[in-house]
Amino acid sequence: MSARQQVTELLRSADVEVGGERPRDIQVHDERLYQRILAEGSLGAGEAYMDGWWDVERLDELFFRTLRARLERKLRSPAVLGRVLLSRLANEQSRRRSRRVAEQHYDLSNRLYEAMLGPTMQYTCAYYGPDGANATLDAAQRAKLELIARKLHLEPGMRVLELGGGFGELARFLAAEHGCEVDSYNISRQQVEYARGLCEGLPVDVRQQDYREAARESRQYDRVVSIGLMEHVGPQNFRAFFELARARLKPGGLMLLHTIGGNVSRRSTDRWIAKYIFPGGVIPSEAQLTRAKEDLFVLEDWHNFGPDYDRTLMAWDANFVAAWPALNQSEGLDERFYRMWRYYLLSCAGAFRARKLNLWQLVLSHGDLPRYEPVR
C-alpha cells in the first residue's frame, strides 16, 4: 500500500477525507506530505502545515476527530521511541533546561500576548462556569481569578507564595482586591518586567527566579498558589515541587494548583509541541500528581473544567487572527509563524474538545483543617 493510501485510510477512520468538502477535510498541496507523516508522525504533519503542504478550514475539528480516533497511536516512529528513552535518562526540566521555554515562548513580543489574551493578560484557562454561556473571554478570566480567591478563602494581610507568576495579574488581583502580600517567582524576563509594572505600588515582590529558589527561603506563607507552572515542572521533579510547597505552607494553610492534566501518565510531550511551543513541557496525569503529593498533602478538592479551555483557546485564536495584520506589520512575524501559532492554538482546542486534555484545580492542605467547603 502506498504512503498516500495509508494516510488516506487512517484519516478516513476518523471521518476525515483528503480533498473533501467538509470543514474538517484536508486539502493536500504537496504529495510528499504522506511519506513525511509516516516517517515523522505529528512533527512531520505540523511542519508540513507550517510549510504550506496542506490546509484545512477547521484545524480544531480536524484534531478533535483524529484525536478521538487515536490516530496518534498509529503514527509512532522510531524518533518518538527515542524521545521517550531520553526522557527517562535525562531531567528535561532541570534549572538550565527550563530556561528554554521562557526564551523561546514566554519571552516573545508582549504585543502578541496583549493582542491575543486581552486586558487580563491571563495565559491560562478562563472559567466560564455553569452560568457563563454568554460570557466574554475577559469576563471568564476575571471569574477565574475570583474562583481562585474564593477557593483559597483569603483574608486581608495574608502572605501568598506564587510559583510561576505569568504576566502578574493574579498577584495584582490578590494584593489590590484582597489585601494580600505576594511573593511571585517567574523565569521569563518579559513577563517579570510586565508584572513589575502592573504591580507597582502594591505589596508584591516579583522575582525573576526559578520556582525552586523558593526552597532556599525560610519564610512560610498562609497560601501557596501555582497557576500554569506544573506543565513545565516535569515528572522527575513533581515530588520535589510538592515538598517545596509543603515546606513553605504554614499550618492551617491552603495550596491551590491549577494545571492542564492528561488521562495517561507520560514522561515526554508531542514532538511538534516540544520543538516549536513548549520545550520540556509534560502534561501530568492524575496518577503522577497523587503519587507525588502522597503523604505530603491532603487533597481537599479536585475540580475539572477542561471544556472551558477549548472555549478559551478558540477565543485566543479569534483575537490573534483579528490582530494579525497589525502584528505582521509591527512585530515582523511572517506567514510561517502565523501558521505555526494557529496550528498550536487550534490543535490544543481540539485536544480539549476530544477530552484528551483536562484543566484541573486542586486544593491541598496539611490535613489540619476541620473542614473545607468546595467552591464553584
Exposure of 290 in the CB half-sphere (CA atoms within 13 A):
9
Closest of 324, 241, 327, 323 to residue 282, by C-alpha: 241
Closest of 242, 270, 258, 244 to residue 351, by C-alpha: 270
Closest of 299, 286, 301, 302 to residue 365, by C-alpha: 299
Q: Which helix (H) or strand (E) holds 361?
A: strand 357-365
Exposure of 94 in the CB half-sphere (CA atoms within 13 A):
7
Residue-wise burial string across 31-41, b where 16 or more C-beta atoms lie within 10 A, e elsewhere: eebbebbbebb
Q: Which parts of 90-196 are beta strand (E)? A: 159-163, 181-186
- Active-site residue, selected from the candidate residues 125, 180, 199, 348: 348
The residue type at 133: A
CA distance 305 to 312: 11
CA distance 74 to 43: 14
CA distance 309 to 339: 21
Closest of 157, 169, 148 to residue 257, by C-alpha: 148
Q: Cell numbers at residue 4, please? A: 498516500
Exposure of 8 in the CB half-sphere (CA atoms within 13 A):
11
| Catalytic site includes residue 199 | no
Residues marked as catalytic: 348
